[in-house]
Amino acid sequence: MPVDARVEVDTHCPYCALQCGMVVRDERAEATVAPREFPTNRGGLCQKGWTSASLLTTPGRLTTPLLRERRGAPLRPVGWAEALDHVALRLRELRERLGPDAVGVFGGGGLTNEKAYLLGKFARLALGTSKIDYNGRFCMSSAAAAGIKAFGVDRGLPFPVADLAEADAILLVGANVAETMPPFMRHVRPAADKGGLIVVDPRRTPTAEAAALHLQPAPGTDLALALGMLHAVVADGLLDHRYIAERTTGFDEVWRIAAAWWPERVERVTGVPAADQRAAVALLGQARNAYVLTARGTEQHASGVATVSAWINLCLALGLCGRSGSGFGCLTGQGNGQGGREHGQKADQLPGYRKIDDPAARAHVAGVWGVSVDELPGPGPSAYELLDSLGTPDGPKALLVFGSNLAVSAPRAGHVAERLESLELLVTADFVLSETAAVADVVFPVTQWAEEDGTMTNLEGRILLRSRAVTPPIGVRSDLDVLQGLAIRLGQPTHRFPTDAATVFAELGRASAGGPADYSGISYDRLRAGEALHWPVPAADHPGTPRLFLNGFGHPDGLARFQVVDHVGPAEPPDPEFPLHATTGRVLQHYQSGAQTRRVPELTEASPEAFVEVHPDTAQRFDVHDGQWATVTSRRGSVRARVRCVQTIRPDTVFLPFHFPGAQRANLLTNPALDPTSRMPEFKVCAVRLGAA
């Protein structure tokens, strides 16, 4: 039954980190959505947002727990008590036999702040395990690490997204926002209309089509391009000497590297003409207001932290960071990609963006949780390292998965699927039988975005209340209920794991107090009243911090830090056996692993299958033909995809979307080589060959 047959509820889209404002109308038990005026979307929605209500009643929606008695047996419907009892019993047995780290937990960047917070608390207290990480490690970790190194704080956009409308120049690096977050184009359109939009991408994407200047480097060479542009800043007299002296440290060491990367040398490495490098620098350096924004295309590399650092160096050299009207930012991808990495589901963090190995942070959080510091485990392995270790002698024998579809989205997906199947116990919380849930031993059916209250933190660090608009199906429970049910069975007191989202959020605020991401001054009442609250918000009367760094950066001395980085290239360059670069990304109609969007008829009709973009000359070279099926093969596996011949893609590069399952999984190809700092896998480039299917 609906909450009210005539009610309209203001809420936010379930997809990307724009968190577009929308209205949910529940009419005769059928929910519909419509856009509303909100700063991030300005009254617009993309196809995914317009069709998001159909997710709530999608065929195959799970409404009862499923349990598999043994491997090879079918999943069968069971009651909640039986499912929770079964999981708790198995978890207790494993812990008693092998210790707390025999159990792992994997979360997601789409979980609300409350779920992410309680999941981290559950792992560390109810399970006592250090083995927890989440899929945001595959999304934002490189940009986060680079931001912390340079600025002392990681917030995707340290300014409101609406500020971009006043920009004269914007450099988008590895971001195809016209397809991944279409309403964002409204913010960059003014700069594009002035001839000030620059796009860095190996493909001629719809975003690049709108740009005055498209720089098209070979995959894995963005760092060299950033060094060449920094060289041009100095050589062409655009260096902001006063800003560097007053607000930064470390430029001389960085220049010693960049001095060797003159644009003509960079052209030989990247393929980007030296004249275009200089033209891009001139647009940025001569603009009154200018921004540099990075995204997954430049971050998902084994050198992702160094690459993002190189783009930050460029911004600092131009004097753009920490002043009104200009800046550097990272476009967060997942709906709660920002909040999801702040409150404790990441292997090395505690709530408030604190480090788990910081004694003061441990003492504070232990005090809020009412436990001794010694009860908190230390840091655990990163996401891919956790998945790679599953079922091995030293790895977890059980895994609980909330908000992730690992069988499709993980790098080296075939190997990860094998590791999942090697477990003694795999438990998922999902709304449908995703590819990961299909191989689980227990599946908990959980509520969806419009069926529950919860907060999200969008790409600009603004905390949003996503309000319940409809009643969930009978038999479905929230993730908070699942965690409480398991925690009680594992011996935890009921009050330690509340199920009311507002209660969890209030505790989250106390746990985050004094940390970099301080939510302690935020309440549901303030959010319901419509206050625009960007963290940090350290007191109930604090107005929030929409613009960071105006009065200094997050380091103790208030200075931003240039980072010494140099180009090394992709971990797996092409060779005679695998002579092409493969890169992956999203398409307009789909989101992440496609577990949601592939169930929306309008979206699957528009984009029903995997494809591979190939330059016509490359297709002829490998004897594959437009419209026919081909195989793309790397050292890790092969993918089946339909050929699309595209004149504008580089002849040395092919592109595949990563939304499709089975033999069409692009991540069967991807290289799990990890960044040494962020532990981000190298999703965006690997060596492949083409062949007829």
Residue 557, domain member (yes or no):
no
Domain end: 331, 362, 391, which one?
A: 331
Do residue 104 and residue 53 come from a single domain?
Answer: no
Which pLDDT score is estimated for 186?
A: 95
Do residue 162 and residue 286 come from a single domain?
Answer: yes
Tell me how many domains the chain contains: 4
667 class by beta-carbon count within 10 Å (0-12 exposed, 13-18 middle, 19+ buried): buried
Residue with tokens 């209340």: 465
Q: Determine contact, residues 113/94, Cβ cutoff 8 Å.
A: no
Q: Report the mean per-residue pLDDT for the chain.
A: 96
DSSP H/E element including 552: none
Residue with tokens 């790895």: 395
Please check the confidence at residue 261 and state whether its pLDDT lies above 80: yes
Res. 693 pLDDT band, cuts 50 70 90: confident
- Please give the structure tokens belonging to residue 144: 């986060």
Res. 29 pLDDT band, cuts 50 70 90: low
Please check the confidence at residue 499 and state whether its pLDDT lies above 60: yes
- Percent of the chain clearing pLDDT 90 (strictly above): 96
214 class by beta-carbon count within 10 Å (0-12 exposed, 13-18 middle, 19+ buried): buried
Greatest pairwise CA separation for the chain in angstroms: 71
Do residue 327 and residue 299 come from a single domain?
Answer: yes
Please check the confidence at residue 654 and state whether its pLDDT lies above 80: yes
Domain end: 483, 501, 519, which one?
A: 501
Please check the confidence at residue 494 and state whether its pLDDT lies above 60: yes
Which pLDDT score is estimated for 671?
A: 96
The CATH number of residue 677's host domain is 2.40.40.20
- Percent of the chain clearing pLDDT 70 (strictly above): 99
Residue 519, domain member (yes or no):
no
* CA distances in angstroms from 420 to 250, 413, 435, 663, listed in the order given: 45, 10, 11, 18
Determine how β-strand 686-692 pairs with β-strand 638-645. unpaired
The CATH number of residue 257's host domain is 3.40.228.10
Lowest mean pLDDT among 26-30, 451-455, 529-533: 26-30
Q: Determine contact, residues 571/257, Cβ cutoff 8 Å.
A: no
The CATH number of residue 345's host domain is 3.40.50.740
Do residue 273 and residue 154 come from a single domain?
Answer: yes
Residue 233, domain member (yes or no):
yes
Please check the confidence at residue 6 and state whether its pLDDT lies above 90: no
Do residue 340 and residue 324 come from a single domain?
Answer: no
Do residue 273 and residue 176 come from a single domain?
Answer: yes
Q: Determine contact, residues 132/350, Cβ cutoff 8 Å.
A: no
Rounded Cα gap, residues 563 and 190, in angstroms? 32
When pLDDT is averaged across residues 130-159 and rounded to a whole number, the result is 95
Do residue 319 and residue 352 come from a single domain?
Answer: no
Do residue 29 and residue 76 come from a single domain?
Answer: no
Task: Express each pLDDT in 268-313 by its tens digit.
Answer: 999 999 999 999 999 999 999 999 999 999 999 999 999 999 999 9
Lowest mean pLDDT among 53-62, 198-207, 245-254, 541-550: 53-62
Which pLDDT score is estimated for 1?
A: 37
Rounded Cα gap, residues 88 and 37, in angstroms? 45
Please check the confidence at residue 27 and state whether its pLDDT lies above 90: no
Res. 649 pLDDT band, cuts 50 70 90: very high
Instruction: Name the nearest CA neighbour of 153 among 314, 321, 290.
Output: 321
Please check the confidence at residue 2 and state whether its pLDDT lies above 90: no
Which pLDDT score is estimated for 71?
A: 83
Task: Express each pLDDT in 181-239 by its tens digit.
Answer: 999 999 999 999 999 999 999 999 999 999 999 999 999 999 999 999 999 999 999 99
Please check the confidence at residue 95 and state whether its pLDDT lies above 90: yes
Which pLDDT score is estimated for 26?
A: 81
Do residue 44 and residue 170 come from a single domain?
Answer: no
- Please give the structure tokens belonging to residue 429: 């919380």
- Please give the structure tokens belonging to residue 518: 């301080």
The upper half-sphere exposure of residue 4, i.e. CA atoms within 13 Å in the direction of its Cβ, equals 7
Do residue 132 and residue 163 come from a single domain?
Answer: no
Give the residue numbers spanning the domain of 344. Answer: 66-138+336-448+466-501
Do residue 46 and residue 101 come from a single domain?
Answer: no
Residue 542, domain member (yes or no):
no
Which pLDDT score is estimated for 28?
A: 64
Which pLDDT score is estimated for 415?
A: 96
Which pLDDT score is estimated for 3?
A: 44
Residue 171, domain member (yes or no):
yes
Domain end: 304, 331, 358, which one?
A: 331
Q: What are phi and psi of 348, to 5 degrees?
A: -115, 15
Do residue 209 and residue 245 come from a single domain?
Answer: yes
- Please give the structure tokens belonging to residue 643: 């050929």
When pLDDT is averaged across residues 661-669 and rounded to a whole number, the result is 96
The CATH number of residue 27's host domain is 2.20.25.90
Rounded Cα gap, residues 65 and 69, in angstroms? 13
Q: Where does residue 589 fall: left (phi above 0), alpha (psi -120 to 50 degrees), or beta otherwise? A: alpha
Which pLDDT score is estimated for 333?
A: 86
Q: Where does residue 584 fall: left (phi above 0), alpha (psi -120 to 50 degrees), or beta otherwise? A: beta
Residue 176, domain member (yes or no):
yes
When pLDDT is averaged across residues 61-69 and rounded to a whole number, the result is 96
Task: Express each pLDDT in 392-445 by its tens digit.
Answer: 999 999 999 999 999 999 999 999 999 999 999 999 999 999 999 999 999 999
Residue 507, domain member (yes or no):
no
Which pLDDT score is estimated for 655?
A: 97
665 class by beta-carbon count within 10 Å (0-12 exposed, 13-18 middle, 19+ buried): buried
Rounded Cα gap, residues 477 and 444, in angstroms? 8
Task: Express each pLDDT in 165-187 by its tens digit.
Answer: 999 999 999 999 999 999 999 99
Residue 460, domain member (yes or no):
no
Which pLDDT score is estimated for 472?
A: 93
CA 23 to chain centre: 25
Please check the confidence at residue 521 and state whether its pLDDT lies above 80: yes
When pLDDT is averaged across residues 343-366 and rounded to a whole number, the result is 96
Please check the confidence at residue 4 and state whether its pLDDT lies above 60: no
Instruction: Name the nearest CA neighbour of 318 among 230, 450, 410.
Output: 230
